Amino acid sequence: MISNGLDDDNFKKGILKNHTFILFIILACVMIIGSIFVPSLAQKGNLLNVLRLASIVGLAAIGATMVLLVGEIDLSIGSIMSLSLVTGGLMVGYGSLPALAVTCLTGIVLGIINGVLVTKLKINSLMVTLGTMSVFAGLANVVTRGQSIFLYDSPLYLSLGRGYIAGIPVPVIIFLFVGIVLSIMLRYTKTGKEIYFTGANKRAAWVSGINTDKIKLIAYSISGLTAALAGPLLSSQTNRITPIQGVGFELSAIAVAVLGGTSLIGGKGTVIGTILGALTFQLLLNVLTLSGVGTYMEQVLKGFLLIVIVVVYQVIDKPRR
Amino acid sequence: MASESSSINGGFIVPAKFIKNNMLIIILLLELIMGVILSPVFLGNTNVQSILINTAIFGLLAVGQSLVMLVKEIDLSVGAMMAFSPIAAIALAKKILSASGTEIIMGSNYVVDGLFIIVVLVLLVSALIGMLNGIIIVKAKVPSLIVTLGMLYVLSGMSYILSGGYSLYLTNLKGAKSLGSSIFAGIPVNFILFLAVGVLVILVLKYTKVGNRIYSTGGNEKAAIYSGINTDFWKVMAFGISGLSAGIAALIYSSRLQSVETIQGSGYELISIAIAVIGGITLEGGRGKISGAIIASAILCIMLNILSLVGLIAWYKTIIIGLIIIGAASQHAFSRKTS
């Protein structure tokens, strides 16, 4: 948003270069073409399912977006999800609320650990989070000794992933709430502007008095929190918490963020883009599932589309560089 | 040089500098001593063999990854390549040879014929897909992280589709065993192959203009372009070699196990990055030596071996690998700051 629609004269040109707009078109096309070929796509139950799954991956992707916006990367999202889930899972005996609170708290703490390592030790964030990804994944297994924690006695915990409020799945409400809050923060608060400046030009941001370390720390803790939030939504679908719940989730989250138009270099991207990205991602997967191409073909197409869309964005952006 | 600085700065500088310059070898020696102390079977024949073979596999991946990191890119597809290249090669060989009437797959999934053509196809497929990565990255100017991540999805999905999720067994394929288990002068042939590849890369980087091109491409791309270097070409080459070395690693792995699994190599991309970083190669490009990565692959494999011998569960291993990555990366960050 910050880089688009600045001048009204070029509005028409601008809108063609707006990632959010393009994504919206893609989403609409997938929806229309999909429902022509696969009639069951447009059924209410199926769409709600798509929304629910999109919310889970989207939540983690919003965190990935925040970190990408400040010009860093977080590969530990999946492991944060696993570790915070199992530490929260240890508290399940005391009730759902303590379990959820511990889950979220663990997520924030793990995010802060990432942030401190990146900002204080000044190590490349790809390396730091590659390392913490391994550490957190190992710890998650150590905590539960590789066992699963079952959730049959925790109705509140389970309702997070399965419940409805006014006909809308709970994950969707949580997702939209987090998305709107962070969207407003990015757009209208000082911290939001500082996040964009830090990612766009770190040195300039630092010179103009922005505490870039603090901003990065905030981004990483948000990423930790959203990863931890996505965890219970996912594990309540399957009734249990496993220490390998989040394996590979970081890649989906980053893929969704990039799909939503977030730049890997920093300073460019929006939460709304990421929300649309999550919807597109999940809808595509759903179309593929329903049309019966098989799980493996889905994976191939997922990878292929990721490359194609990044290339398309790059072509659109070229004149501006 | 060392004696000069010692005469100026006093004797203390020499050991400090010596330690800093030979850090990796010192760590390797310390590890060997620790292994001998901690486990009686550490120097046993089978254990040494298994360390050497693991070092060959991970080392090959790390050499390729190091080249890619030297040109300031990253390759996440090497692990998936290790499964895809043999599976695709066998599928292709089956098509080609069945045209001439030879059936190379007997039973449901026993490969029985066509070793030579399969090996050639593995090398060809892996090198070409590596180069394809590079071409997409330089032509479309998109981040290598995303392109190779996409490629990871594509390759691992394709391996499942081509193999149907079943293993292909090489037990009835004459000669398939030799790379994985034959021994020359007490050293596994595959380890000699790995050293040969490593030495070749080191020599080429050191004594031909290729080294200069690669290091300048990663060090300062703009300056390299202005001085007439075709940086795109060298990036594509680096990815090609990375793919090729993953192909060779796949040959060793499959030959050792006598089978081709759909999940083989999954997660190895991260280990290869870890080894490169331990070896002193940075993500900022243009710095570090391949020899460092070769020693680092031995360091990591010996450490994992010692941890297994003392009976540590795999979970603790992942934790320790993670800590090592962070430690190695921060050490380089510090040395960069002081120098």
Nearest Cα of chain A lies from the Cα of B261 at a distance, in angstroms, of 15
Nearest to A67 by CA among A199, A208, A255: A199
State which H helix or E strand residue A40 sits in: none
- Report pLDDT for A17: 61
- Report pLDDT for B85: 92
State pLDDT tens for residues B143-189: 888 888 888 889 988 888 888 878 888 877 777 777 777 777 778 88
State the CB neighbour count (10 A cutoff) for residue A32.
Answer: 11
Give strand pairing partners of A280: none
Sign of CA dihedral A234, A240, A243, A247: negative
Put simply, whether B106 touches A (Cβ < 8 Å) is no
- Report pLDDT for A15: 57
Q: Which residues of B touch A258 (CB under 8 A)?
A: 146
Q: Shortest CB distance from A296 goes to which of B157, B315, B326?
A: B157
Rounded (5°) CA angle A217-A221-A225 = 170
Average pLDDT (A132-144) is: 89
- The answer to whether the CB of B52 falls within 8 A of the CB of B187 is yes
* The amino acid at A293: V
Query: Which one of A114, A127, A145, A315 would you mutate to disrupt binding with B, by most B Cβ within 10 Å of its Cβ?
Result: A127
Put simply, whether B333 touches A (Cβ < 8 Å) is yes
**What are the DSSP E strand ranges found in A237-288?**
240-241
Q: Which of A14-28, A79-93, A297-311 has the highest mean pLDDT?
A: A79-93
pLDDT band at A235 (very low <50, low <70, confident <90, very high): confident
- Report pLDDT for A179: 92
Domain boundaries, chain A: 21-31+41-314
| DSSP type of residue A71 | T
Nearest to B245 by CA among B95, B122, B153, B91: B122
* The amino acid at A60: A
- Report pLDDT for A107: 93
Q: Which residues of B touch A131 (CB under 8 A)?
A: 322-326, 329
State the CB neighbour count (10 A cutoff) for residue B232.
Answer: 17
Give strand pairing partners of A150: A240
The CA distance from A55 to A58, in Å, is 5
Say if strands B110-111 and B105-106 run parallel, antiparallel, or are unpaired: antiparallel
In this structure, of A126-130, A160-164, A276-280, B28-32, the range with the lowest mean pLDDT score is: A160-164
Query: Which one of A129, A296, A305 would you mutate to disrupt binding with B, by most B Cβ within 10 Å of its Cβ?
Result: A296
Average pLDDT (A6-32) is: 68
| DSSP type of residue B44 | S
**Under an 8 A CB cutoff, do A300 and B154 touch?**
yes
Ordered DSSP codes for B52-105: HHHHHHHHHHHHHHHHHHHTT-----HHHHHHHHHHHHHHHHHHHHHHTT---E
- Report pLDDT for A4: 46
ipTM score of the complex? Answer: 0.79
**Under an 8 A CB cutoff, do B143 and A128 touch?**
no
Rounded (5°) CA angle B12-B13-B19 = 105
Q: Exposed, middle or buried: residue B107 (CB in 10 Å: 0-12, 13-18, 19+)? A: exposed
**Under an 8 A CB cutoff, do A310 and B150 touch?**
yes
Looking at the predicted structure, is the pLDDT value of residue A296 above 50? yes
pLDDT > 90: percent of chain A: 18
Average pLDDT, chain A: 83
The CA distance from B256 to B82, in Å, is 13
Looking at the predicted structure, is the pLDDT value of residue A321 above 70? no
SS3 A213: helix
Q: Exposed, middle or buried: residue B227 (CB in 10 Å: 0-12, 13-18, 19+)? A: exposed
- Report pLDDT for B339: 46
SS3 B260: strand
**Under an 8 A CB cutoff, do B153 and A303 touch?**
yes
**Under an 8 A CB cutoff, do B318 and A138 touch?**
yes
SS3 A241: strand
**Under an 8 A CB cutoff, do B326 and A117 touch?**
yes
Q: Which residues of B touch A300 (CB under 8 A)?
A: 153-154, 157-158, 161
Q: Shortest CB distance from B322 goes to which of A138, A294, A295?
A: A138
Looking at the predicted structure, is the pLDDT value of residue A118 above 50? yes
Ordered DSSP codes for B148-194: HHHHHHHHHHHHHHHHTT--EE-TTSTTTTHHHH-EETTEEHHHHHH
SS3 A74: coil
What distance lies between CA A261 and its chain's CA centroid? 13
What distance lies between CA B162 and its chain's CA centroid? 25
* pLDDT beneath 50: ranges in chain B: 1-7, 339
Find the radius of gyration of the CA atoms of chain B.
21
- Report pLDDT for B66: 92
Full-prediction pTM beyond 0.80?
yes
State the CB neighbour count (10 A cutoff) for residue A247.
Answer: 17
Architecture per CATH, A21-31+41-314: Orthogonal Bundle (1.10)
Identify residues of A whose CB sits under 8 angstroms from chain B CBs: 73, 117, 121-124, 126-128, 130-139, 141-142, 146, 251, 254-255, 258, 264-265, 294-304, 306-307, 310-311, 314-315
- Report pLDDT for A64: 92
State the helix-helix crossing angle for A271-290 and A295-317, rounded to 10 degrees.
Answer: 140
Residue of B nearest to A73 (CA): B145
- The answer to whether the CB of A280 falls within 8 A of the CB of A286 is no
The CA distance from B97 to A184, in Å, is 62
